Every structure is written in C-alpha cells, then in structure tokens.
Amino acid sequence: MDAPIRPELVDFHGISMTKIFTENWENIQNFQARPDDILIATYAKAGTTWVSQILDLLYFGQTERHKTLPIYERVPFLELHIPSYMSGTEQADNLPTSPRLIKTHLPYQLVPKSFWEQNCRVVYVARNAKDNMVSYYHFNRMNQGQPAAGDWNSFFQKFMEGKMVFGPWYDHVNGWWKKKQTYPKIHYMFYEDMIEDTGREIDKLCSFLGLSPSAEEKRMVVGGTQFDNMKKNEMANYSTIPMMDFKISPFMRKGKVGDWKNHFTVAQNEEFDEDYKQKMKDPTLQFRTTI
Ligand code: A3P
C-alpha cells in the first residue's frame, strides 16, 4: 500500500508537476545564475545522477567533499523545495564551488531566464523513451515523494499521455533539442551513447566544457562513475534519502539499455511505436532502444 504522503499531479503552466517543484516558484524564476554555472538538464530518469557525478569529478576530483557530501548536496536540484528539509535555490545560492553544477528537470521554457541571459553552459541528457519509462515506473514505486506508480499497464498509458511529473517525455526531449538550434551552448547527450562508450562521451563533454583532463584523471572519472561503483557509493546512490524505499527498488537499479523488453508486452510495444511515430516527427532527433 502506498503511504498517504504521495502527492497529486497539478497543472503548472501546462506541465504536470507536484507541489514540491512549484511552491518555491518565485525564487526559482528569480534565481540568479552566474556565467560559469553549468546547468544539468534532463527528463527525470535519463541519467542525471551519472552525468552529475561525471561533471563533479571532472571539475573537483576525488576530494573530501566528494567523499562526504551526497550528490544532491554537491549538485543542487534547482526546483526541489521541501520546507525545512531541502531547497534547491537556497542550496545553489550557498554552494561554495565554482563553477556551480545545478540540476534541473524543467522543460526548457520554464528554466529561469538568468541562465540564458548569463549564457550558461547546459548539459542535456536524453534517454530513449522506453527505458526512460521503465526507470520512471520503478522510481515512482520506490519514492514516496512521487505520485503512486499504479500498475505497469496504467503507468504505461499515463506516460504516453504525458501525465508524469515534468510533463510529457516527448515535449521535453524535443523542446530541448529545438532550443539547441537557437542557443548553441547546449551539449545534448544520449544515455545510450554513454553506455556504449563512456570514455568517448566524456571526451566530447570535455571539449564542450573546454577541459583537458590528463589520461590519469580521465581514468579516475570513468572508473568512479561506472554503474557498479556508483551503486555502492553512498554519496552517489541516494541511499541517504528516507523517502526512497530500496526494498521496493534501488535508485541505481539496472543501468542498462533495453530493459524495456522485460516490461513491454508485444501489444504494448506496437501501441507505443504507433503513438511514438505521431509524436516524434523530427527526423534529426533519433533514439536507440538497443545498442
Ligand atoms: P535504471 O532505473 O534503468 O537502472 P536519474 O539519475 O536521471 O534519476 O536516472 C537514473 C537512471 O540512471 C537509473 O536507470 C540508474 O540506474 C541509471 N544510472 C545511474 N548511474 C548510472 C551509471 N553510472 N551507469 C549507468 N546507468 C546509471
């Protein structure tokens, strides 16, 4: 049985959200970005934590901070606001590091305007819809701060209808892809590429950021961000968040491409593909559901 604290979806500027992401809206809208801030933008469950850990290690290495502060303190979640517990804007304002790494799941049109005005770099990570859906399903099952997942079949329908926190996956990935045409300081990455060759994707990321790590530093980043290492790293695996019940599903669950095949029925897959074709018309944005 789901606990009663499970929130309802609310419509917020046309996007489904829950209160913990809208209640601090004035401070979010007025958030003052700095020119060297790096915004890590993703649809939820696309690999945010992975790329956050990569960026944190690239910039700051394996320092004391890295070993003692959980990822959500090193990389604040901008729109998250749980009174007297956590506030993304406050955490970001108080971050002692430079650059500041800041995470968001907002669709591009809701991002505070100072990020664009300050010409900040944005790292966007996208993940194929099928695996993203499966990961999101297990996340909503285990995280009491999210709406109840319901059964797989109803979650599957809700995902296609866009009735998810942060709105439809389809609009999110397309919106950020189009934004990149007019705002070139977006590095658009794919989870599947990172799985295929993490080192290659870190090289591309570094060239976007203007970083040149040594071979040794790069080895440390690749090693430190491997799935198995992050899964057992308490500062990266979210095991310190009480709202998450790892007995239902761990945060670092499988870390694979293609787990959707263990969830989608043949009929669901056909229905999904038909609907996908209608929603994803831009031939320049292609995802891989297997590698
Ligand atoms: P799964 O549920 O499919 O395992 P986010 O950080 O955006 O919430 O995304 C979480 C997803 O990224 C989870 O997917 C998680 O296992 C996966 N992930 C996290 N770290 C990873 C890593 N180092 N390598 C591969 N996948 C990783």
- CATH number of the domain at 117, please: 3.40.50.300
Centroid of ligand 1 to alpha carbon of 290 (angstroms): 16
Which residue's CA is the closest to the ligand 1 atom numbered 17?
255
Ligand 1 lined by 91 (C-beta under 6 Å): no
CB distance 17 to 165 below 8 Å: yes
**Does the Cβ of 252 fall within 6 Å of ligand 1?**
yes
The pLDDT tens digits of the residues spanning 232-270 come to 999 999 998 989 999 999 999 999 999 999 999 999 999
Split at pLDDT 50, 70, 90, the class of 3 is very low
Rounded (10°) CA dihedral 24, 29, 35, 36: 30
Locate the ligand 1 atom nearest the alpha carbon of residue 198 and give its number.
24
In a domain, 232, yes or no: yes
Q: Which two tokens stand for residue 165?
A: 């926190």
Coil, helix or strand for 61?
A: coil
Does any domain span residue 290?
Answer: no
- The alpha carbon of 46 and the centre of ligand 1 are apart by a number of angstroms equal to 7
Residue 244 resides in a domain: yes
Q: Which domain holds residue 153?
A: 10-279
Q: Is residue 121 part of a domain?
A: yes
Report pLDDT for 74: 97
Amino acid (1-letter code) at residue 213: P
Q: Give the Å distance between the CA of 117 and the centre of ligand 1.
A: 31
185, HSE (Cβ side, Cα atoms, 13 Å): 16
Whether 139 is in a domain gets the answer: yes
Q: Would strands 15-17 and 10-12 be described as parallel, antiparallel, or unpaired? A: antiparallel
Q: Which residue of 55, 190, 227 sits with most ligand 1 atoms within 8 Å of its CB, as the best mutation to test the pocket?
A: 227
Distance from the alpha carbon of residue 138 to the mean position of ligand 1, in angstroms: 11
| Contact residues for 87 (Cβ-Cβ < 8 A; gap 6+) | 24, 27, 80, 81
- The helix (run of H) or strand (run of E) holding residue 271 is helix 266-279
CA distance 27 to 138: 31
The position carrying tokens 């009735």 is 163
Let me know if residue 288 belongs to a domain: no
Residue 205 has pLDDT above 60, yes or no: yes
Are the beta carbons of 70 and 242 closer than 8 angstroms? no
Ligand 1 contacts CB of residue 48 (under 6 A)? yes
Q: Which of 200, 237, 243 is nearest to 52 (CA)?
A: 237
Q: How many whole angstroms from 258 Cα to the centroid of ligand 1?
A: 13
Q: Is the peptide bond before 76 cis (omega within 30 degrees of 0)?
A: no
Ligand 1 in reach of 254 Cβ (< 6 A)? yes
Residue 242 domain-assigned (yes or no): yes
**3-class state of residue 177 by DSSP:** helix
Could you report the per-residue pLDDT of 120-136, keeping only the tens digit for each? 999 999 999 999 999 99
The answer as to whether 211 is a domain residue is: yes
**Is 118:34 a contact under the CB 8 Å cutoff?**
yes
- Cα of 136 vs centre of ligand 1, distance in Å, is 10
What would the mean pLDDT of 105-124 be, rounded to a whole number?
98
R_g over Cα of the chain = 18
pLDDT value at residue 84: 87
Instruction: Report the SS3 class of residue 60.
Output: helix
Q: Among 43, 50, 128, which residue has the most ligand 1 atoms within 8 Å of its CB, making it the best to mutate?
A: 50
Q: Which residue has the tokens 């329908």?
A: 157
Active-site residue list: 105
pLDDT tens, residue by residue, 158-182: 999 999 999 999 999 999 999 999 9
User: Using N-to-C axis directions, what is the helix angle for 198-209 and 48-60, rounded to 10°?
Assistant: 60
Ligand 1 binding pocket includes 126 (Cβ within 6 Å): no
Q: Which atom of ligand 1 is nearest to the CA of 259?
A: 3
My answer on whether omega of the bond before 283 falls inside 30° of 0, hence cis, is no
Q: Give how many domains the chain has, as a whole number.
A: 1
Evaluate: CB of 42 within 6 angstroms of ligand 1. Answer: yes
Could you give the residue ranges of the DSSP H alpha helices within 162-196?
169-182, 191-196
- What lies within 8 Å, CB to CB, of 263 at 6+ separation is 134, 137, 152
pLDDT digit string, tens, across residues 83-108:
988 999 999 999 999 999 999 999 99
Residue nearest to atom 20 of ligand 1 (CA): 50
Measured from the CB, is residue 227 less than 6 Å from ligand 1? yes
Structure tokens at 147: 């709406």
